Amino acid sequence: MIVGGGVGISVHSPYCTATENTLFAMPETAIGFFPDVGASFFLPRLPFTGMGLFLALTGYRLKGADVLHAGIASHYIPSDAIERLVERISDGMGGREVVENAIENTCVEPNDDGLSFGLEQHLETIWQCFADVDSVEDVLQRLQKIATDSEKTENARKFASSLVTTLNQMSPTSLKVTFEQLKRGEYMSLENCFKMEYRMSQHFMESHDFVEGVSHKLIKKSKEPVEWNPPTLKQVTSDIVNSYFRPVPVGDVELELPTEYDLQHTPSHRTSYREWNTQPYMPPAAIEKAKTAVAEVEARNEAEAAAAAGKK
């Protein structure tokens, strides 16, 4: 099981293997938090445009080979072959080539094993509702439209309807902050994503929704709806959202990362370090917005850094 914070231990590695027993999810919006551990970086860079936002907002669980199909894992290996993989790595003289050869000689193609992508039938809905969207409200409107569209298949309507129900149960603040987080992270280095997420975490520690969500969901394990504050998306203003990205209060420590590691060029697998303009499945309209978005994010980051420097 790779859920929430546990994802960060492996997802940035050059090799991420999944078995039929693997379960992946980023369920933070259900407890009034946000997808951290570098999710700002890897979720927007998944090969299916919109998939990262879909996983971040809904907390949808990927199981088995679907973790590979979605672009989270780099290889799929049946659990009964793990011991053989470990032996192959142990028998080698070390180094990346040994690991790569061991994995390549052990992994299998899920499609060859009859393990197709479970979300294959819903990729169009995910693309239509989570790619090239302007807000969380936009996501919900698109989902509701599909859920009530008689021309859509019953499968598509049910899937969209279930996502509307799921999103309506999440913290409105978490949904909007997470939306902004992934929008910014798409154009940031991994190092800057970590620094941004650290700031966000410090602000969330003082928020009503995080305390209420953890207490309600994890401690009391209540099945009743959480009393979020603000209770609706409309009441979560842009000022509230932006407050989670501000520098930590004067006197507190900002995140400092080890200088000996070059996170900008950390080796990774197939999609995690792909530039935005080389992603497949990208809606044409998104390409037109991308350059403007890059400039806006860079200008905002520079302004926040200058404001923080001025307060010291």
Digit-coded pLDDT (tens) for 185-233: 988 888 888 999 999 999 999 999 999 999 998 999 988 889 999 999 9
* pLDDT for the residue 279: 39
Check whether 78 has a pLDDT greater than 60: yes
Check whether 104 has a pLDDT greater than 70: yes
Check whether 297 has a pLDDT greater than 90: no
Is residue 164 within 8 A of residue 143, CB to CB? The reply is yes
| CATH code reported for the domain at 2-77+115-265+275-311 | 3.90.226.10
Residue 294's pLDDT band, with cuts at 50, 70 and 90, is: low
* pLDDT for the residue 274: 30
* pLDDT for the residue 213: 92
Q: Strand, helix or coil at 94?
A: coil
Digit-coded pLDDT (tens) for 135-191: 999 999 999 999 999 999 999 999 999 999 999 999 999 999 999 999 999 888 888
Lowest mean pLDDT among 196-210, 268-282, 296-310: 268-282
Check whether 267 has a pLDDT greater than 50: no
Kindly give the residue spans of alpha helices, DSSP state H, lying in 132-250: 136-147, 154-169, 172-185, 190-204, 208-213, 238-243
| Tokens at 106, concatenated | 């052990």
The structure's pTM equals: 0.80
